[in-house]
Amino acid sequence: MVSVGQAAPDFKLNNQNGKPVALSSFKNKKKVVVFFYPKDSTPGCTKEAQTFQSDLAKFKKAGAEVIGISSDADHTEFVKENNLSMTLLSDIGGKVRKAWKVKGAVFGTIDGRVTYVLDKNGVVTSMYDNLLDGAAHSKEALKALEA
């Protein structure tokens, strides 16, 4: 996994509207919270996304952009069903997940759930890895931003 103190690998992926988003576009402008999650519309991932959404104003107040990444090809329904306004990116084939060395769980059969907090320079300041408690990821990221 990418470790605290390391520069986060750049990426450019399409968002839920089909528009490309590059991590480097936030450099020197905003802190970024990147959360990797296994799959849209599953119970744990839905709870995780809903928790990030309910905390979105707190992230904005802390000067942070929130970006979710999964291997789903299309996030349109997930966004609509859960009234999500944060950026969700499609990492089809898992290239970004591999570059960030986010490991799979259950012998690699499920994509891992890891959240990173980056400073304005794109350096990892915090990392939280917990597959089972998706809702905790938002709270841990907020704690890291407030530290």
d(CA 141, CA 143): 5
d(CA 7, CA 15): 22
d(CA 97, CA 112): 9
Contact between residue 33 and residue 64 where contact means Cβ atoms under 8 Å apart = yes
Active site residue 45: yes
Residue 39, CA atoms < 13 Å, CB-side half-sphere: 8
Contact between residue 140 and residue 128 where contact means Cβ atoms under 8 Å apart = yes
* Selected catalytic residue, list 23, 34, 45, 89: 45
Active-site positions read 45
